[in-house]
Amino acid sequence: MSASYAAVGWNRQKKIYDWLIAGFCTSYLVLFISLSLVFNEQVTFETLLIRSTSTLAVLLLHVILAIGPLCRLNKKFLPLLYNRRHLGVTMFTLSLVHGSFGIFQFHALGNINPILSLLTSNTNFNSLSAFPFQALGFLALVIFFLMAITSHDFWLHHLSPKVWKTLHMFVYLAYFLVVMHVMLGVIQYESNPVFVIIIFAGATTLVTLHLLSGIKERKTDNRQFALQQQGFVYVCGVKDIENSRAKIFCIDKERIAVYRHENKLFAVHNVCKHQGGPLGEGKILDGCITCPWHGYQYLPQNGQSPPPFREKVSTYDVKIVDNKVWLNPAASAEGTERPGAEIKD
């Protein structure tokens, strides 16, 4: 948050997460290499490395891209999102190993610069089966590189959350490039359709998850609130909100999170100051609303981060009449203390 920077913001959960990533990646690589050696003992070391890292990177990329929509569909997946950037950097590192060995093996033996060779040795841009697929992979690697080097929060602050998010949305373009890199590359010389089926299944899963979660949210966003009284809007029943959790309502194009904490309801702006994470999808931990994305915290009654942090979000008025929750969409200034609404059983 706003205290001094460290290289990596490790805590217990993040360490467990990272150990799991490292363990999974190591087992995958060991298994892949051993199986390859059993079935084809002639395979060279470079080829093994190129194949094992690339397949693992593609697998991780699918996991990374599935985490976002999975969390929006079901909160049980939130722990995966918490440290997604470490997963991203791991994926980039694997892609870098794959890319470097690929460039070395295929382009470093000539007398021209390997990168130049990669970009210019094949110019069949008008052919599908002979398309320069390596250039696609290279471009995707450049995107992953830019994302990895800006993954520290320092860059989020200095590039501004908006620029940062836009830069990181290029991962979708990179994903498309990776799919085509695989399809126009190695698959063009494989007679086994299983590779096409795997890639197709992966892409279909991601597209479905993203469309489902997007459509689900559009419903929430487009909900019309008919009942209005003195600026307050009827949103839901008291029982609809679980303890220490929130429901999100979109009124006048703003998303507001209504939290239930210690038998009271409080409303804050749904957008976290850190990266624009959905505060209403988080929960109350240690008396603070905790953003599901990276754990930024705010007090429910005033929307302020506990000291020494200085982030503040807008607060809203809530009232309860006959077990019905009414919300006033007029925002108070960021960090304004609001009394909240008491729940009487």
Partner 1 sequence: MVIVSIILIIIAIYLAAGFVFAVAFIVKGVTKIDEGAHGATWGFRLIIIPGTIVFWPFLLNKWIRASKTKEE
Partner 2 sequence: MMRPLRKRHLQVWTAWAVLIPAGIVFAWLAIPDMVPVKLLQAPAAGLLPVIKKTSDKKDYTINLRTDPGNTQWQLEWKNKSVLMVPSAVIYKASPNPSGGGALESFRPENAILVGRIEARGDYVFSLQQDSTGYNQLHFILYDFIHQKAIEYINF
CB of 203 to partner 2, least distance (A): 5
Handedness of CA 265, 267, 270, 274 (dihedral sign): negative
- Tell whether residue 5 is a contact of partner 1 (CB under 8 A): yes
Closest Cα partner for 185 from 174, 195, 175? 195
Question: Across the beta sheet with 297-298, what order do the strands follow?
Answer: 283-285, 288-290, 297-298
The CA distance from 147 to 39, in Å, is: 37
* 158 vs 223 by CB, closer to partner 1: 158
CB of 11 to partner 1, least distance (A): 15
The CA distance from 225 to 295, in Å, is: 31
Instruction: Using CB under 8 A, pick the residue from 22, 35, 124, 158 that binds partner 1.
Output: 158
Using CB under 8 A, which of the segments 3-11, 245-253, 297-305, 334-342 binds partner 1? 3-11
Residue 327 backbone dihedrals phi, psi, to 5 degrees: -125, 135
- Tell whether residue 324 is a contact of partner 1 (CB under 8 A): no
- What residues line the site for partner 2 (CB under 8 A)? 39-44, 46-47, 68, 105-106, 109, 117, 121-122, 124, 128-130, 134, 165, 169, 172, 175-176, 179-180, 183-184, 187-192, 196, 199-200, 203-204, 207, 210-211, 214-215, 217-218, 221, 250, 253-255, 270-271, 276-278
CB of 114 to partner 2, least distance (A): 12
Of partner 2, partner 1, none, which one sits near residue 134, judging by CB under 5 to 8 A according to partner kind? Answer: partner 2
Closest Cα partner for 334 from 269, 275, 284? 269
The CA distance from 317 to 264, in Å, is: 12
Angle at 99 between CA 94 and CA 101, to 5 degrees: 100
Contact criterion met (CB below 8 Å) for 288 and 298: yes
Handedness of CA 233, 76, 65, 182 (dihedral sign): negative
CB of 209 to partner 2, least distance (A): 9
Using CB under 8 A, which of the segments 93-101, 157-165, 204-212, 275-283 binds partner 1? 157-165
The CA distance from 21 to 15, in Å, is: 10
CB of 139 to partner 1, least distance (A): 14
- Tell whether residue 157 is a contact of partner 1 (CB under 8 A): yes
The CA distance from 305 to 290, in Å, is: 10
CB of 19 to partner 2, least distance (A): 29
Residues 128-147 within binding reach of partner 1 (CB under 8 A)? 146
Of partner 2, partner 1, none, which one sits near residue 310, judging by CB under 5 to 8 A according to partner kind? Answer: none
Q: Which two tokens stand for residue 187?
A: 């698959």
Binding site for partner 1 (CB under 8 A): 2-8, 113, 115-116, 119-120, 146, 148-150, 152, 154-155, 157-159
